[in-house]
Amino acid sequence: MGPGGACWRGGGVPRGLKRWLSSSAPAPRVCVVGSGPAGFYTAQHILKHHGGARVDIFEKLPVPFGLVRFGVAPDHPEVKSYGAEDNRVLGIPGENLSGVYSARAFVGWYNGLPENRDLKPDLSCETALILGHGNVALDIARILLSPLHLLRKTDITDGSLAALACSKVKRVWLVGRRGPLQVAFTIKELREMINLPGARPVLNPADFTGLENAIKDAPRPRKRLTELMIKTALKKPGVKPMEAQAAAPREWGLKFQRSPQEVLPTTDGRRARGIRLALTRLEGSGDSAKAIPTGDVEEVECGLVLSSIGYRILPLDPAVPFDTQRGVIPNSSGRVEGVPGLYCSGWVKRGPTGVIITTMNDSFDTAHSVLEDLQGGVLDVSTSREGFGAVESTLRSRGVRPVSFSDWEKIDAAEVARGKAAGKPREKIVDPQEMLQLIGH
């Protein structure tokens, strides 16, 4: 699975279940596929509450932790949270032009995800446009506009730091289909963006007309978030415009009620030069409000377009059921429908939403189901199974040498040592072949 979810055979502790410490209790073998947060949290919980369980975790990359390592902005090491195997496509003309990238690929590039190490995004334009109003969109805007001295202290890769050092981007627009009351980012991330050194927010006061009344009865997080946007939009600069521009040579802003219609090409038809946006009106209110095109359009000049409209889960295997409409494995509390003994967690279970605490609680819920099924005799643990021993012999017969956790510790030590020399927490190795050479494979 991708790092946004985990599947395995075999949360809170099931009510009434005590930790199994009896030496005569069956010793189930649990196989977890995917070493992201969902996989680790579930493994942790099963091991904590079943004294005899043995858990093997399998990962396609030579390094563990999924999008804890690869998904979150390098200047947010305390968050480390989201992911899935693929990105949603825009489905509009021009999205394959040079200069148009998915958020997933761009985030993977600056975070050292091996599959994105050769992305080489063109940062030679002055204006970038991000489609999406979530935390990932704010992450990307912040990375594009952050002073280099702040980024140098993080584990951002050397290659992406060098590219950002040469970047000409000085303006970033974040565009959403709906209005201020439907933005998906959180107040902490917005406040950090507003206070970013050298970059000033550009919010149109007209976008927030009448919202003070609309949010009177809104939940407190939504109310505080909207109040911060209103305050920022109405804030009068204390210095003259020219002085403000000199103090903050870069800027970013939020555009609401605009839906992407077409990425506009340069005259040679190869690169993005701008984007045509359909203006929308809202039907309904709150999170359920729908964006309906009005018939009016707007063109925005930009040479870099980043799509942050969500992630997409890919089917795992024909033997595993998959709901293509919802993009999840059909399940009940993590139990995969129609396949006894198979469970799922993370985004493959509930769809690509939520942050690390959501994934943690969701993983505990699936662990609850596994432990319940073990206690209830639903799972057959009477026959001994070899677990990784059987898999390892199969791999070796195919000439495949797996990377062990102790191998990962060698890679980890090398990255930390390289980072220390550069004054960073770590310098990620982005080439899997270099990782394998480092451990003698």
Q: What is the pLDDT of residues 341-352, one digit of tens each?
A: 999 998 889 887
Whole-model pTM?
0.76
Q: Which of 187, 92, 196 is nearest to 140 (CA)?
A: 196
Compute and round to an integer the Cα radius of gyration of the chain. Answer: 24
69 has a pLDDT exceeding 80: no
**Per-residue pLDDT band at 248 (split at 50, 70, 90):** confident
Residue 6, Cα to own-chain centre: how many angstroms? Answer: 15
237 has a pLDDT exceeding 60: no
Query: Which residue did the predictor score with more confidence, 383 or 437?
Result: 437
**Per-residue pLDDT band at 73 (split at 50, 70, 90):** low
89 has a pLDDT exceeding 90: no
* Residue spans per domain, the chain: 5-67+314-397, 89-309, 405-438
Q: What is the pLDDT of residues 104-132, one digit of tens each?
A: 899 999 999 998 999 999 999 999 999 99
Query: Which residue did the predictor score with more confidence, 90 or 191?
Result: 191
**Per-residue pLDDT band at 325 (split at 50, 70, 90):** confident
Fold type of domain 89-309: FAD/NAD(P)-binding domain (3.50.50)
Tell me what pLDDT residue 3 has.
37
24 has a pLDDT exceeding 70: no
- SS3 string, 94-127, reads CCCCECEEEHHHHHHHHHCCHHHCCCCCCCCCCE
Tell me what pLDDT residue 94 has.
93
d(CA 441, CA 437): 6
Bridge-based pairing state of the strands 100-102 and 290-301? unpaired
Q: Say which CATH class 5-67+314-397 falls into.
A: alpha beta
**Per-residue pLDDT band at 311 (split at 50, 70, 90):** low
Residue 205, Cα to own-chain centre: how many angstroms? Answer: 31
Q: Are 182 and 175 in contact (CB under 8 A)?
A: no
